[in-house]
Amino acid sequence: MSEVTVVKHSPDGRPPYRYTARLMESPPGWVVVQATWPLHQVNSGPVSFKPGDVLDEYFSLERYYNAFAIHRADGTFGGWYCNVTCPTRFEDGEIHWYDLYLDVLVAPDGSVHIADEDELAASGLERDNPELHATIIRAKDELLRMIAERSYPFSTID
């Protein structure tokens, strides 16, 4: 397996966040990597990232989302953290993805939560770019459907 660099771009233009991951076998239309969470604990409602967590990260090359399966250092499942994004670009050993405000979280107990709706509302996109705003809402709805149906990548965790 080869190493790649994952580059997260924020909607507000903050400098990108970069980290190294291992490229995994990926089905058509997806890039799958595995990374270890290198930072301090981050709590996002019912889902958290803890130092040493192993993340299986599924980046769609065609759709407006990605999904991170979180596994604790002891092997227990920590939930899903899904980002609404632009379709991922993968070139020259770098995965680039652009955060588009909304997140869909799936707690270890299976409950589903939407995060950052307030940030999307405050962004002014509904007024300034209604087409992009509608795309973001459709992507969130598609993620919710995929989670409910246990479609790929949500079929990968028992």
* Residues of the chain by 3-state class (helix, strand, coil), percent to 5: 20, 45, 35
More confident: 157 or 44? 44
Phi/psi class of residue 120: alpha, beta or left (left: φ > 0; alpha: ψ in -120 to 50)? alpha
Tell me the per-residue pLDDT of 68-111, one tens digit each, with 9 for 90 and over: 999 999 999 999 999 999 999 999 999 999 999 999 999 999 99
Domains and CATH numbers, the chain: 3-156 (2.40.380.10)
Listed in sequence order, the DSSP H helices in 17-129 are 117-123, 125-128
In this prediction the pTM is 0.94
Tell me the per-residue pLDDT of 122-146, one tens digit each, with 9 for 90 and over: 999 999 999 999 999 999 999 999 9
